[in-house]
């Protein structure tokens, strides 16, 4: 049984989650995601965050599965050793939203994109999930390796942009940009579909493939994949000659003045 924890999500576009732990309660988190912790919270790094008591080989295997799924080999745990409730907060390394998921409402298991896991109550297990379809593995945007998150408690996911949760009826299909999938119910069928029409595929700006999600089950989508933002940043980076594409205004004027001064010297 997972610990029952209280939480509050703060922020708008750069969100974090503040978790309140009663005495003896514990939360597990991705390494490097801690924002603050109050006095009385004990932080540990472990291969076995849920104290399952298995052998070293099993713990190493569990760490390897987490590493394959995009998380760290070791997990960080935060336990309230004090008598009164204490708080600990977590934020991801990229801008975006925090999405709480009660796993009991999702049938005890969800499949998520790599790096989606932020933190969870003790009792939640994070491991690797492999794409069942060869095409989805090659062209689905997430590759063959996904995250499997299991348990009966609270887990917090993080993704970029605005997050949108939708429920698919049995047989209902939705086509999604391959980078916009955050998580889906274990019962949802995940596959890929080629964009119809040669002209649309080549010049439509959406790539050659859609991801398809077929119900029944719930799906969480993100409006701005971080990879898309990174591509825009790279495209706007300074060229080798020092001039930025499309740059104008005060920055251009100052750059021009600096160049003239250097030439005069």
For the chain, what are the domain ranges?
A: 6-234
pLDDT tens-digit readout, 8-23: 999 988 899 999 999 9
Q: What is the mean pLDDT of residues 112-124?
A: 89
Q: Please tell me the distance from the alpha carbon of residue 195 to that of residue 69, in angstroms, as a whole number.
A: 28
Contact indicator for 218, 106 with CB cutoff of 8 Å: yes
Q: Please tell me the distance from the alpha carbon of residue 174 to that of residue 189, in angstroms, as a whole number.
A: 11
Q: What is the mean pLDDT of residues 46-52?
A: 67
pLDDT tens-digit readout, 189-207: 988 887 665 444 444 455 5
What pTM did the predictor assign? 0.74
Which pLDDT does position 245 carry in this prediction?
46
Q: What is the DSSP string of 33-91?
A: -EEEE-TTEEEEEES-TT-----HHHHHHHHHHHHHTTS-SSEEEEEE-SSS-EEEEE-
Which pLDDT does position 26 carry in this prediction?
94
Q: Which of 80-84, 210-214, 254-258 has the lowest mean pLDDT?
A: 254-258
Q: What is the DSSP string of 165-233?
A: EEEEPTT-EEEE-TT-EEEEETTSEEEEEEPSSHHHHHHSSS-SEEEEEESSEEEEEESS-HHHHHHHH
Q: Please tell me the distance from the alpha carbon of residue 60 to that of residue 69, in angstroms, as a whole number.
A: 14
Q: 32: pLDDT confidence band, cut at 50, 70 and 90?
A: confident
pLDDT tens-digit readout, 122-158: 989 888 776 555 444 444 445 447 888 999 999 999 9
Q: 198: exposed, middle or buried (C-beta count within 10 Å: 0-12, 13-18, 19+)?
A: exposed
Q: Is the pLDDT of residue 218 over 90?
A: yes
Which pLDDT does position 190 carry in this prediction?
87
pLDDT tens-digit readout, 161-174: 889 999 999 999 99
- Give the percent of the chain with pLDDT over 70: 68
Contact indicator for 125, 91 with CB cutoff of 8 Å: no
Average pLDDT score over the chain: 78
Q: Is the pLDDT of residue 121 over 50?
A: yes
Q: Which of 82-96, 128-142, 203-217 has the lowest mean pLDDT?
A: 128-142
Question: Does 228 or 41 have the greater pLDDT score?
Answer: 41
Q: What is the mean pLDDT of residues 109-118?
A: 88
Give CATH superfamily name and number for 6-234.
Mitochondrial biogenesis AIM24 (3.60.160.10)
| HSE of 192, CA atoms in CB hemisphere, 13 A | 22
Q: Is the pLDDT of residue 254 over 50?
A: no
Which pLDDT does position 13 carry in this prediction?
81
Question: Does 49 or 91 have the greater pLDDT score?
Answer: 91
């Amino acid at each position: 049984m997972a610990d029952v924890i209280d939480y509050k999500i703060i922020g708008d576009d750069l969100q974090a989650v503040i978790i309140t732990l009663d005495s003896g309660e514990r939360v597990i988190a991705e390494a490097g995601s801690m924002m603050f912790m109050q006095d009385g919270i004990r932080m540990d790094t472990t291969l076995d965050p849920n104290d399952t008591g298995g052998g070293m080989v099993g713990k190493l295997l569990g760490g390897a599965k987490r590493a394959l799924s995009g998380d760290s080999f070791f997990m960080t745990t935060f336990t309230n050793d004090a008598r009164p409730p204490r708080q600990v907060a977590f934020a991801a390394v990229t801008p975006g939203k925090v999405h709480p998921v009660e796993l009991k409402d999702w049938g005890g298991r969800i499949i998520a994109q790599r790096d989606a896991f932020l933190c969870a109550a003790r009792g939640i297990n994070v491991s690797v999930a492999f794409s069942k379809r060869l095409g989805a593995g090659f062209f689905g945007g997430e590759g063959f390796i996904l995250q499997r998150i299991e348990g009966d408690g609270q887990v917090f996911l993080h993704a970029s942009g605005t997050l949108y949760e939708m429920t698919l009826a049995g047989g209902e299909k939705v086509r999604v940009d391959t980078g916009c999938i955050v998580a889906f119910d274990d019962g949802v069928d995940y596959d890929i579909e080629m964009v119809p029409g040669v002209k649309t595929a080549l010049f439509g700006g959406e790539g050659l493939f859609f991801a398809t999600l077929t119900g029944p089950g719930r799906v969480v989508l993100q409006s701005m994949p971080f990879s898309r933002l990174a591509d825009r940043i790279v495209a706007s980076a300074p060229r080798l000659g020092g001039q930025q594409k499309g740059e104008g205004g005060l920055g251009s004027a100052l750059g021009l003045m600096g160049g003239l001064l250097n030439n005069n010297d």
